[in-house]
Amino acid sequence: MCPARAAGTQRAETIVAGHLLAMRDLTIEGGIGVAPFPIVRGIDLELRRGEVLGIIGESGAGKSTIGLAALGMMRPGCRLAGGTVAFDGIDLFRVDPSRGRRIRGTRIAYVAQSAAASFNPAHRLLKQTVEGARAHGVMSAAAAAAKAVSLYRLLRLPEPDRFGERFPHQVSGGQLQRAMIAMAMMTDPDLIVFDEPTTALDVTTQIEVLASIKELVSSRNLSASWKFLLTDRLYVCNPGPSTLPTGELPKRLSGALAKAARFTQLLIVRASPVTWIGPPT
Ligand SMILES: Nc1ncnc2c1ncn2[C@@H]1O[C@H](COP(=O)(O)OP(=O)(O)OP(=O)(O)O)[C@@H](O)[C@H]1O
Ligand SMILES: [Mg+2]
């Protein structure tokens, strides 16, 4: 993963205003140095402040690519072939690099699928939880430590006052995932991107972590992307280069499904514990 710059374009920091996040005609290609191939093409989506947007699609459909693009980032080997990603009116792919880093460090947070891969096994959790906020000078060391403990408590981690003294291998997978969420929340970001934050966990732990996320998101009026059972709206990636935005879904999976495209219905029925009660149209 790396911060990405649009090749051959001038800096244009302020574009589409109005939404917290707006992607317009976003096209990302893979294959630098070889024949390029499309990964996502023509993505148009937006997220309002306080809204939760779910993104679903088959493996390889481009969900993580879109999630990273929401931070103005791409994996090595990918390139921006067209379009814009505007966060609070700022074009994340063309913003001045230091301003982009600050936005990513303070206003947009990312929670990855595997907390184990995100933590350094050699350092205690508290040190790692606070270091992003400290690096951006957002708060003093004492305030950061106090904030971390309050987040541990909010996320129902055991012994919140002392939890941060542990090393990553001294906590469970679900606890480590919640520690990563605490890390993401340190600066009270406006937007948090969850890239399948629970799929590496067993089902019971998934439910606990999802409940924590839900509580956090609703208590802080946070905008978030991911995990469609919690979402206000749903965006569906078709496999392959094209994407298929759907209409809006209500908070629960119900009648609106009947109007959704067949691909969407099948995807949701496969992924969801909710029983499908009508034939796909
Ligand atoms: N660094 C890269 N270089 C080239 N192609 C890549 C790179 N990373 C991903 N891809 C390709 O981009 C496509 C989309 O990948 P992405 O990780 O966004 O999918 P996904 O929907 O998140 O899948 P999953 O559900 O398996 O996590 C895949 O076909 C993948 O092979
Ligand atoms: Mg992915």
pLDDT tens for each residue of 73-116: 999 999 999 999 999 999 999 999 999 999 999 999 998 877 88
Of 192 and 222, the one with more pLDDT: 192
Any idea what DSSP says for residue 228? G
Residues 170 and 48: their CA atoms lie apart, in Å, by: 38
**pLDDT band, residue 42 (cuts 50/70/90):** confident
- In degrees and rounded to multiples of 5, residue 148 shows phi and psi of -60, -45
pLDDT in tens, 266-278: 555 444 443 333 3
CA of 54 to the centre of ligand 2 (A): 13
Mean of per-residue pLDDT scores for the chain = 76
Helix or strand holding residue 37 (H, E): strand 37-47
- The residue whose CA has the least distance to atom 17 of ligand 1 is 64
Identify the pLDDT of residue 29: 92
Averaged pLDDT, 58-68: 84
Percentage of residues of the chain with pLDDT beyond 90: 39
CA of 136 to the centre of ligand 2 (A): 28
- The residue whose CA has the least distance to atom 28 of ligand 1 is 60
- Please work out whether the CB of residue 75 comes within 6 Å of at least one atom of ligand 1: yes
Q: ∠ CA 257-258-264 to the nearest 5 degrees?
A: 50
Highest-pLDDT range among 217-226, 251-260, 263-272: 217-226
Q: Are 216 and 35 in contact (CB under 8 A)?
A: no
Identify the pLDDT of residue 268: 53
Mutation test of ligand 1: which of 28, 65, 78, 198 has the most ligand atoms closer than 8 Å to its C-beta? 65
- pTM for the whole structure: 0.79
Identify the pLDDT of residue 206: 77
Task: Identify the three-state secondary structure at position 125.
Answer: helix
Residue entry with tokens 């350094």: 120
Q: ∠ CA 155-159-164 to the nearest 5 degrees?
A: 80
- The residue whose CA has the least distance to atom 13 of ligand 1 is 60
Mutation test of ligand 1: which of 39, 58, 71, 238 has the most ligand atoms closer than 8 Å to its C-beta? 39
Give Cβ neighbours of residue 194 (< 8 Å, ≥ 6 apart): 67, 111, 213, 224, 225, 226, 227
- Please work out whether the CB of residue 239 comes within 6 Å of at least one atom of ligand 1: no
pLDDT above 70 for 258: no
- The residue whose CA has the least distance to atom 25 of ligand 1 is 59
List, as one string, the DSSP characters of 45-78: EEE-TT-EEEEEESTTSSHHHHHHHTTTEE-TTE
Q: Which two tokens stand for residue 133?
A: 């906020």
Identify the pLDDT of residue 234: 63
CA separation (Å) from 225 to 139, 193, 222?
26, 5, 10
CA of 138 to the centre of ligand 2 (A): 30
User: Out of 9-18, 109-118, 230-239, which region has the weakest mean confidence (pLDDT)?
Assistant: 9-18
Identify the pLDDT of residue 40: 86
- Please work out whether the CB of residue 77 comes within 6 Å of at least one atom of ligand 1: yes
Averaged pLDDT, 175-190: 91
Q: Are 47 and 20 in contact (CB under 8 A)?
A: yes
Give me the domains of the chain, ranges plus CATH numbers. 1-107+192-245 (3.40.50.300), 113-188 (no CATH)
Q: Are 195 and 113 in contact (CB under 8 A)?
A: yes
pLDDT above 90 for 5: no
- The residue whose CA has the least distance to atom 30 of ligand 1 is 60
Identify the pLDDT of residue 197: 80
- Please work out whether the CB of residue 33 comes within 6 Å of at least one atom of ligand 1: no
Identify the pLDDT of residue 169: 95
**pLDDT band, residue 146 (cuts 50/70/90):** very high
Helix, strand, coil: what percent of the chain each, to 5? Answer: 35, 20, 40
Of 271 and 241, the one with more pLDDT: 271
Q: Which two tokens stand for residue 56?
A: 């679903």
Identify the pLDDT of residue 254: 37
For residue 173, count other CB atoms closer than 10 A to its CB. Answer: 16
**pLDDT band, residue 145 (cuts 50/70/90):** very high
